[in-house]
Structure 1
Amino acid sequence: MRDTSKRSRACPSEGKYNSRDEGAKAGKQVKWVLEAKGRLLDGQDMGDDWVVVRDLWWRLEESTGFSMGTKSHPTKGQPKPVEGGAAVMEQEWWGWWTFLNLEWRVRGGALVQEGDGKWEVLQGTPGLNRFFNILMCLRWWYGMMESPSASWRKAVANVKWALQRMVRAEQMVAEATKAPAPPQDAAQPPTEPSATDACVPAPAPAPADAPEAPMPGPVNDVVTAMHANEVVVVCPASTDNDNTIPV
């Protein structure tokens, strides 16, 4: 059974997670996100939606090269160390999450899951002190309950919806900035003429008063027909033999 006794828990802050090491190398940048992902996993089954949220968050950080960032989300309304347990964390988390979201998502004090718009406030600068904070607060809220509440599940679903659209927006930007593909004519060499290219196309239909041409007959697997002193060569379906005949 999970320990749900009253305890002091706080969402991570800039002071706790120092992400301002200007000399950080690429290896360290990847290390922080691996450690962060481990914190979100924490060896517990938190449901299918949580797995999706965690993976979407990873893709969002990956799109920025796992940058550690130098900024944090606005701290107004951010949950602070509490002794009131899950009820207080629930109230503070929802208040902070609503504050961080865009105006177009807030209707009647609630967050809607429809429409689309810009995500600059939520997206902003990636790193330890950005979206990871939001997920860690959800993680700690979960740890305060015997089993996940309906409100917690709703919160995870709401975050998932936002992350899905943020990841999609990043993909659209990436696609738009890709170098255009070379023209097809320049990319492909000219094709060799096929066996049927040597065939003489059939002429236009003869005038109505022209004498009817005789029924054609086979000549060495090539059919010839006479139309007003013109020779029409119709190539057979097979190209195994030499279909060229002198005219």
Structure 2
Amino acid sequence: MDEIWQRLVGLWWEKEKARGFAGPTRGYTEGRPIQVSEWVRYAPKAPVKPAIEDVEAFGQKWWEWWVLMNPNWRERSSFAPRTHPRLEQTMGGEEWGAVDYSGPNGILNVLICLRWWRDAIGSNDDEEYWMEAVEDVIWALETIK
């Protein structure tokens, strides 16, 4: 787990560094987990890590948010045994939209949310589900020009 997480954070860091850590004042909000909304809204007073009572529901919400922010050319497919779509890792266009946001309100929120999810995991099944998410974000960051 540590190795893949370090790889993801390293990719994110290099992209942010290349852009001078600048980004939009508002990130992609459609469908994001409520914990992210509360964390952004109450940033100075928010706990560093929110309580996640239902890890599976949080993971599903994260995937729904990730699917929504990805470009439409990324084909959706079933992700057994879960009930929501996952994204195919094939190129179909150049525009990355919301996935390519830098700064504190960009892809950083995705990484923070992934870390909260990982810290709340208790079983190997949930960890495998989380690893799929991390691998997809890595793929996206490596693919974005």
Amino acid at match of 1:77: G
Aligned length: 120
Alignment partner of 2:89 out of 76, 95, 113: 113
Aligned to 1:137: 113
Aligned to 2:32: 78
Structure with the bigger percentage of helix: 2
Alignment partner of 1:60 out of 11, 15, 24: 15
Query: Do the aligned partners of residues 103 and 69 (structure 1) sit closer, same or farther apart at CA in structure 2, a change above 3 Å counting?
Result: closer
Q: Secondary structure at 2:73's aligned position in 1? A: helix
TM score, norm. by length of structure 2: 0.74
Which of the two has higher C-alpha Rg?
1
Aligned to 1:27: none
TM alignment of 1:182-193, pairs within 5 A: none
Shift of 1:120: 2.4
Q: Is the CA contact 2:52–2:58 (under 8 Å) kept in the aligned structure 1?
A: no
Structure 1 vs Structure 2: percent identity of aligned residues? 35
Amino acid at match of 2:27: S
Shift of 1:113: 0.8
Mapped partners of 1:71, 1:77: distance in 2: 14
Structure 2 unaligned blocks of 5 or more:
36-50, 78-84
Amino acid at match of 2:9: R
Shift of 1:70: 1.9
Alignment partner of 1:159 out of 130, 137, 143: 137
Q: Secondary structure at 1:70's aligned position in 2? A: coil
Shift of 1:68: 5.1
Shift of 1:96: 0.4
Q: Does 1:96 align with 2:65?
A: yes
Aligned to 1:49: 4
Query: Do the aligned partners of residues 69 and 154 (structure 1) sit closer, same or farther apart at CA in structure 2, a change above 3 Å counting?
Result: same
Q: Supply the RMSD in Å over aligned alpha carbons.
A: 1.8
Query: Do the aligned partners of residues 83 and 137 (structure 1) sit closer, same or farther apart at CA in structure 2, a change above 3 Å counting?
Result: closer
Query: Do the aligned partners of residues 83 and 134 (structure 1) sit closer, same or farther apart at CA in structure 2, a change above 3 Å counting?
Result: closer
Q: Is the CA contact 2:23–2:104 (under 8 Å) kept in the aligned structure 1?
A: yes
Shift of 1:54: 0.4
Shift of 1:158: 0.5
Query: Do the aligned partners of residues 147 and 97 (structure 1) sit closer, same or farther apart at CA in structure 2, a change above 3 Å counting?
Result: same
Q: Secondary structure at 1:110's aligned position in 2? A: strand
Deviations 1:103-123 (CA, angstroms, capped at 9, x unpaired):
111324320012242212211
Q: Is the CA contact 1:98–1:106 (under 8 Å) kept in the aligned structure 2?
A: no
Deviations 1:28-60 (CA, angstroms, capped at 9, x unpaired):
xxxxxxxxxxxxxxxxxx422211110110011
Aligned to 1:41: none
Deviations 1:105-145 (CA, angstroms, capped at 9, x unpaired):
13243200122422122114x21011000000000000111
User: More relative contact order in 1 or in 2 (CA 8 Å, sep 6+)?
Assistant: 2
Deviations 1:174-202 (CA, angstroms, capped at 9, x unpaired):
xxxxxxxxxxxxxxxxxxxxxxxxxxxxx
Aligned to 2:38: none
